[in-house]
Structure 1
């Protein structure tokens, strides 16, 4: 009689364990699914480009530009020099400099007195590292027939357009250095400066 009661007790014990095992299995499956989904989501995040870290310095001044005509025309224009101080090397192809959303342009001095050119800044395929700098002079070249490179000093009418103060930088203009990923999916403002 004792043995029969022992057997009944064991059988009923086994039946009671089944729901507990089921709950443990459900919790384990839930944890595994959460881990797989989490790894997938984190994996997608890893595909995003990392925004480079760089410290840029902005320095504002007034510069006199003179053309090669007779008599010469000259303009005193506000300029902002941007220099890479510290941080990672930047690819020029990923950097855009804008003035109130328009492409910024500078003047690259050449060897002669009459062949300075207006050009887009940091727009080639080189690298920008500590010590490199550019000078922002114009916020757009729309008044120069929408060309990307404009001869600044060869024609008097072009220097006369530059004499118009609206052509140069003015107080309140916002200059931004914008980084864009190679595939164009991500972009970020690295630094900005407001003209005084």
Structure 2
């Protein structure tokens, strides 16, 4: 073997190959970014659900619901909706919206205020049947709390003001 072949410094073919690989990578990344915004996937990035530990209690005697915030992120006012569902008949009614801010250690409660008016939707709660209370974070459309309970007595659940 000739000594001049041992130390070949001809690297002309490496540069175009690396250039083509970099151009393909940049094109793929740009296509992914543009595709994300065109398909609307970037719109929901800011609407994350809060991480909160909520509990609910249904007061059958006073026909009301109490929701307590046990820990986690504070929830701004107007971002929580409470839905009461008859599990057997799959009949739901939005019983209220928490209009004030909701922080750790706070609780909100409400009692039926609109049943007397007769124009509000209601759910007839029957003794011994199963019912579900859900708290929805409205901006992210996600469930923050979902609890099921069995009614000990019959009453009528309607819309009320949670404050």
TM-score (normalizing by structure 2): 0.61
Task: For 1:164-179, list aligned pairs within 5 A.
Answer: 166=124, 171-179=129-137
Match of 2:119 among 140, 145, 153: 145
Equivalent residue, structure 2, for 1:28? 22
Q: Is 1:93–2:78 an aligned residue pair?
A: yes
Check the 8 A contact 1:58/1:83 in 2, yes or no: yes
Check the 8 A contact 1:55/1:84 in 2, yes or no: yes
Aligned equivalents of 2:94, 2:119: Cα separation in 1: 15
Aligned equivalents of 1:169, 1:137: Cα separation in 2: 19
Provide closer, same or farther for how the CA distance between residues 179 and 103 of structure 1 changes in structure 2, counting only shifts above 3 A. Answer: same
Deviations 1:69-120 (A, max 9, x none): xxxxxxxx4x44211111111123111000124211xxxxxxxxxxxxxxx3
Deviations 1:159-184 (A, max 9, x none): xxx9xx92589731111000011xxx
Provide closer, same or farther for how the CA distance between residues 141 and 180 of structure 1 changes in structure 2, counting only shifts above 3 A. Answer: same
Q: In structure 2, list runs of 5 or more residues that go unmatched.
A: 86-91, 151-163
Q: Identify the structure with the greater helix proportion.
A: 1
TM-score (normalizing by structure 1): 0.52
Provide closer, same or farther for how the CA distance between residues 32 and 38 of structure 1 changes in structure 2, counting only shifts above 3 A. Answer: same
